[in-house]
A and B are shown apart, each in its own frame.
Chain A
Amino acid sequence: MKVIVCIKQVPDTVEVKIDPETNTLIREGVSSIINPFDMYAIEEAVKLKEKFGLETIVLTMGPPQAGSALREALSLGMDKAIHLCDRAFAGSDTWVTSFILAKAIEKINNFDLVICGKQASDGDTAQVGPGIAAHLNLPQATYVRRIDTVHFDTTPKVMVVERLLEEGYELLELSLPAVITVVKEINEPRLPSLRGKMKARGADIPLWTNRDLDMEEEKIGLSGSPTQVIKIFTPPHKEGGKVFQGDPVDTVDKLMEEIKDLIH
């Protein structure tokens, strides 16, 4: 029994700053982290491993430097890591990214569950998780806030999950294998253990290139991506607002005067 977690290395947004002169994003020297939502995916996989003795595999697609994200995942308790890394993957949009990840998951084979974070903090699309499910033709549950029950002894294996919606949550029963994406509420990620860190440092992380996955080059990367970015710009900066200070009654009156046309 196997659970696969897909992660993405993203810039640490806490450090993202706007250059006041050019009004562009300064990303120079920004450190990279595992996408915050993927931390919950990793933790959930490790919890399943502790409970059911599953094998846990962490997967990422990205440039060579993304290997450090995989090492961090190993230090948090994942058993194995695989790095999908090839120039031919560069420029992939969400369609192609989910396609490549699905191909790798197929190659790993014999898995019960794929877990992703609900979305990445840089792109914010939330499209890759369900995209993987669609490519693999598997049932999906997005925005999972809790795994209620798992039955690995039935045929098929099933699990019941709580899916967070705008106004509450729904209970879904999924036959495994399936793909879920998780939200923050699902758990509290642990810190890496010293033993985990040692293990991660020495771990052998296989690099899979397109030679391993054997996809037509025109279907992947920038060429294969249906969407094209034509322009990136910084939104107009908000001018400093009006801030009132002093006597509470007075400040509230001033605020009311400003917003009276906005409320009715």
Chain B
Amino acid sequence: MSGIKIIKDKCVGCGLCIKACPLEAIVLVDKVAVIDLDKCNLCSGCVGSCKFNAIHIFRQSKPRDDISNYKGIWVFAEARDEVISSVVFELLGKARKLAAELDTYVGAVLLGCGVSGSLQELIHRGADKVFFIDSPALKHYIAENYTKSIVKLVNKYKPEIILAGATTTGRSLVSRIAVNLHTGLTADCTGLDIDKEKKILIQTRPAFGGNIMAQIISPNFRPQMATVRHKVMPEAEAELSRKGEIIKETFDEDEEDKRIKFLDFIKETISTVNLAEADIIVSGGRGLGEGSNFKIIEELASSLGAAVGSSRAAVDSGWIPYSHQVGQTGRTVCPKMYVACGISGQIQHLVGMQSSKTIIAINKDPDAPIFKVADYGIVGDLFKIVPLLTKKLKETLRR
């Protein structure tokens, strides 16, 4: 049985843990913290808040006996229409670094039908081995069939780490794989490191929309699995001289899950750049006043080669499709540059974009909360500022 306890001799009654507890499960009794076990869910938020190491969480869990047999770092090579997603190259870059620390190989897993053209590209970008299954059943991403294929590969080749992009496909797929393999999975990581002593993966991820960060490990289970946020890690450069091994496996067609059928894919974005993959995003909000004014946002975006985003207010007003919404009930993005135009910066919007590398805000209200997270801001009329900025950028970039 696991549990939590306060080491009374170490507790000074400072109350920091009370502030850290999301469930109001801690109270001070005679200047010592006391945890109400009916309320506590062992989230461990208080443990780090204690400056005196007075809170101890204990767990009973033992390693599975065979974890030392697991070797290699795998990357799920997500692809659509034979094009490998750019997050895969970011993962391969990271995987190479991790592999050097663990003295092991980098593997890429490519599933599909007639996608063999991408095999060499994965090797050039850092894979030592490419595990490849070519089957009509894998032509479209179907979580059930992809899961079966990858579970089979893992059971045969036993990688110690598997990374996938934190995309709609990656997150849905590896959740299923982790359950079937009975192993740990950490979502949407922004940092991956190796604990040099224990040789395990330390996964860092934001929670509460980036308001807090958590470090997570899966020491007793293999493979250690993580999805990784787009645009956080640099892409591996292609080296055309790199050589690697291609390992072909098959998908047994009797195993195809017939309970789910792919019918069609419909492309639907007003900009040509995908929000998740964009280096730059230009977003518009309530300050635009009406839907037709989104064209100044689109023009600014096109001058930068950027994707178009929006606040919830703009989507709710019917100015732009939901797929463009950034924020708590939309997408979380992390581009190199985020330009917020006419967006006041409610917390629900901020949690979806505050991890962006550089934030630029244009708003007429100098007290708008967006300026608190912005690196650069202009207070003024966006209908004047945005077209001026577009013009300047076009001159500079000659687009």
A residues sitting closer than 8 Å to B (CB atoms) are 11, 13-14, 16, 18-19, 22, 24-30, 36-37, 62-65, 87-88, 90-91, 93-95, 98-99, 121-131, 133-135, 138-143, 145, 156, 160, 163-175, 178, 183-185, 217-218, 221-235, 238, 240-246, 248-249, 251-253, 255-256, 258-260, 262-264
A168-B266, A221-B2 as given contacts; A65 in contact with B216, CB under 8 Å: no
Q: Say which size band chain B's interface belongs to.
A: 35 or more
Contact A130 B175 (CB under 8 A): yes
- Scan B211-235; emit 1 where CB is below 8 A from any A CB, else 0: 1111111111100000000000000
Residue from the list B22, B206, B214, B380 in contact with A229, Cβ < 8 A:
B214
Residue from the list A222, A227, A242 in contact with B186, Cβ < 8 A:
A227
A89 CB, nearest partner CB in chain B, Å: 8
Interface of A is mostly: mixed
A252 neighbours in B (Cβ, 8 Å): 378, 385, 388-389, 392
A238-B373, A241-B371, A242-B376 as given contacts; A130 in contact with B182, CB under 8 Å: no
Contact A251 B380 (CB under 8 A): yes
Contact B44 A13 (CB under 8 A): no
A166 neighbours in B (Cβ, 8 Å): 167-168, 274-277
Contact B176 A134 (CB under 8 A): yes
Chain B's closest residue to A174 (CB) is B260
Chosen A-B contacts, 5 in total, with CB atoms closer than 8 Å, are A125-B187, A232-B44, A244-B378, A245-B379, A251-B378
A94-B175, A227-B186 as given contacts; A255 in contact with B274, CB under 8 Å: no
Contact B385 A251 (CB under 8 A): yes
Residue from the list A64, A142, A185, A262 in contact with B358, Cβ < 8 A:
A262
Chain B's closest residue to A85 (CB) is B38
Chain A's closest residue to B312 (CB) is A184
Residue from the list A124, A164, A238, A240 in contact with B168, Cβ < 8 A:
A164
B43 neighbours in A (Cβ, 8 Å): 91, 229
Tell me, yes or no, whether B84 is within 8 Å of chain A by CB: no
Contact A260 B379 (CB under 8 A): no
A223 neighbours in B (Cβ, 8 Å): 1-2, 59-61
Other A-B pairs beyond A11-B22, A184-B330, 8, CB < 8 Å: A88-B1, A127-B171, A142-B143, A166-B276, A171-B265, A178-B259, A230-B217, A253-B392
